[in-house]
Amino acid sequence: MDLIVKIGGSIQKDEKDYELIVEKIRKYSQKNGKLIVVTSAIKNVTNDLINATINIDNSPDIASEIYERHVKLLSKLADGKEFENAFKDLSRLSDELFRVTWSIRVLDEVTPRVKDYILSFGERMATVLLSAVLRSNGIEAEGISTPPLITDDNYGEANVIEELSKKEIDNIIKNSKVNVIVLPGFIGRTKQGKYTTLGRGGSDYTATLIGKLVRAREVRLVTEVPGIMTGDPKKFSNAKTIPRLSLEEAIELSQLGAKRLHPRTFDPVFNIDMKVIVESLYEDGFTVINGECEKSDGLKGISYLDNMKLITVESTKIVGKIGSAAKITSEAKEAGVNIVSISQPASETTIQLAVDSSSVNRLLERLEGLKGTLVKNIEVNDISIVGIVGCGIRKKEISTKVISIAAKYDPLAIARGISNVSLTFIVNKEEGENLSKELHEVIVNG
């Protein structure tokens, strides 16, 4: 199996989308022969299902609505026997989902296991729909809505047991007589057959992981944007697609950049020779991700978080007190607050934590509790975090240029990232936009 194609949920919204998907898969199938398609739940369905676990009273209605949306698409895109069979499958799944939503309404309770069960319907229905549409369009395709990934029972963020999963997928491939196998992304199941979700990284991660298990040459993540871009096009009018990224660059850009890939997507790719290609359903551009830095690499892209807070915890007592960082970071942990950046400068009189604005209050409450003992003063400032990514940063002339630009914006902190392919700048909130724009110009126009 050479190729895995992952079809995102945001590009499964209407007939036109499916026509494009059909043509894309037809093209890849003609070129590659056998391939695996990993599908997300269709547009908005995962959100609606999450909603069903919260607004329990409405959950049967939400279930009906989701069913109808799938059937409507199916009726337009499939016919004859294909329609009939898929309709039966969707109805069976809808029945099951309806029973579950009805049950949680009766019991007024959703356990983590049941939440994953409910979420599983999104990808399972999408698998039925997509495979039927492909067959209706003359592509020999088979949809297997039972997820092949076997996981532990850590519901909400289940861990894949690779050995068992590989056996499942190998079996599927062995038994399949068609070219295109459609599998659900994002979900797995325990050895006992309970549905789980893989959590962070979603279907992209499923695709690269299956790619690794079947030793694919390429994993294509098909999405609405033409690859990974130099910056968010909404913010930078001249943003362009980046043709190639090393793995390190991709990880650095993945979380903060314009296209939200989860860095975990690249976990299965380390140390194996597999290309990940991010491409658009609608446009031509694409980004190839693989391998390490190359000599010619310069600056690639900008990331920009503009709603952050910088908490400065000041205390002369921090000086020389081994363990004050441990104390403060574990307070953050207990408050469930993700620290985006910590820095304790060499003079040791202060610790600075950058956190998202939404979680700042939870952390402050706890830090206030340390006043009088460890903490002398706490200051909170609005900041932006601007990152620039590219293997070129390893070159002195490039990094000097970048830092000199940043210097003009009065940065609070500057740091290099993993493998020395990124520089991150913490600046006052109001400086963020201009700094990011100036850096973006450097990328685009040199």
According to CB under 8 A, which residues from 337 to 356 bind a second copy? Answer: 337-352, 354
Considering only 57, 138, 174, 336, the residue that binds a second copy (CB under 8 A) is 336
Give residue 86's Cα distance to chain centre.
29
Note whether 13 binds a second copy by CB under 8 A.
no
Q: Which listed range, 25-33, 101-109, 231-239, 438-446, lies at the site for a second copy (CB under 8 A)? A: 101-109
Considering only 45, 119, 229, 256, the residue that binds a second copy (CB under 8 A) is 256
CA atoms of 62 and 298, how far apart (whole Å): 49
CB of 254 to a second copy, least distance (A): 8
Question: How distant, in Å, are the alpha carbons of 36, 41, 42, 69, 370 from that of 45?
Answer: 22, 6, 6, 9, 44
Closer residue to a second copy, CB minimum distance, 73 or 253:
253
Considering only 27, 31, 99, 217, the residue that binds a second copy (CB under 8 A) is 99
CB of 401 to a second copy, least distance (A): 8
Closer residue to a second copy, CB minimum distance, 43 or 259:
259
Burial class (CB in 10 A: 0-12, 13-18, 19+), 163: exposed
CA atoms of 18 and 21, how far apart (whole Å): 5
Note whether 370 binds a second copy by CB under 8 A.
no
Contact pattern for a second copy over residues 423 through 442, marking x by CB under 8 A: -x-x----------------
Q: Which listed range, 18-26, 219-227, 228-236, 325-333, lies at the site for a second copy (CB under 8 A)? A: 325-333
Burial class (CB in 10 A: 0-12, 13-18, 19+), 294: exposed
Closer residue to a second copy, CB minimum distance, 83 or 304:
304
Note whether 400 binds a second copy by CB under 8 A.
yes
Quickly list H helices, 79-155. Answer: 80-107, 112-136
Can you say whether the dihedral through the CA atoms of 5, 10, 15, 16 is positive or negative? negative
Note whether 237 binds a second copy by CB under 8 A.
no
Of residues 296-315, which lie at the interface with a second copy (CB under 8 A)? 303, 305, 312, 314
3-state class (DSSP) for residue 174: helix
CB of 227 to a second copy, least distance (A): 19
Note whether 413 binds a second copy by CB under 8 A.
yes
Closer residue to a second copy, CB minimum distance, 3 or 374:
374
Considering only 207, 229, 251, 278, the residue that binds a second copy (CB under 8 A) is 251
Beta strands in 93-239 (DSSP E): 141-143, 150-151, 180-184, 187-190, 195-197, 218-223
Instruction: List CB contacts of 167: < 8 A, sequence separation 6 or more.
Output: none
CB of 285 to a second copy, least distance (A): 24
Contact pattern for a second copy over residues 155 through 194, marking x by CB under 8 A: ---------------------------------------x
Assess contact for 42 and 9: CB atoms under 8 A.
yes
CA atoms of 115 and 160, how far apart (whole Å): 18
Closer residue to a second copy, CB minimum distance, 22 or 274:
274
Q: Which listed range, 7-15, 134-142, 236-244, 255-263, lies at the site for a second copy (CB under 8 A)? A: 255-263
Of residues 49-78, which lie at the interface with a second copy (CB under 8 A)? none
CB of 348 to a second copy, least distance (A): 7
Closer residue to a second copy, CB minimum distance, 226 or 301:
301
CB of 16 to a second copy, least distance (A): 35
Neighbours of 346 (CB within 10 A): 5
Contact pattern for a second copy over residues 105 through 144, marking x by CB under 8 A: -xxxx-x-xx--x---------------------------
What is the 3-state secondary structure of 342-407? EECCCCCCEEEEEEEHHHHHHHHHHHHCCECCCECEEEEEEEEEEEEECHHHHCHHHHHHHHHHHH
Can you say whether the dihedral through the CA atoms of 320, 322, 325, 327 is positive or negative? negative
Q: Which listed range, 84-92, 136-144, 287-295, 418-426, lies at the site for a second copy (CB under 8 A)? A: 418-426
Q: Which residues pair with 141 in a beta bridge?
A: 180
Assess contact for 151 and 158: CB atoms under 8 A.
yes
Assess contact for 9 and 49: CB atoms under 8 A.
no
CB of 336 to a second copy, least distance (A): 6
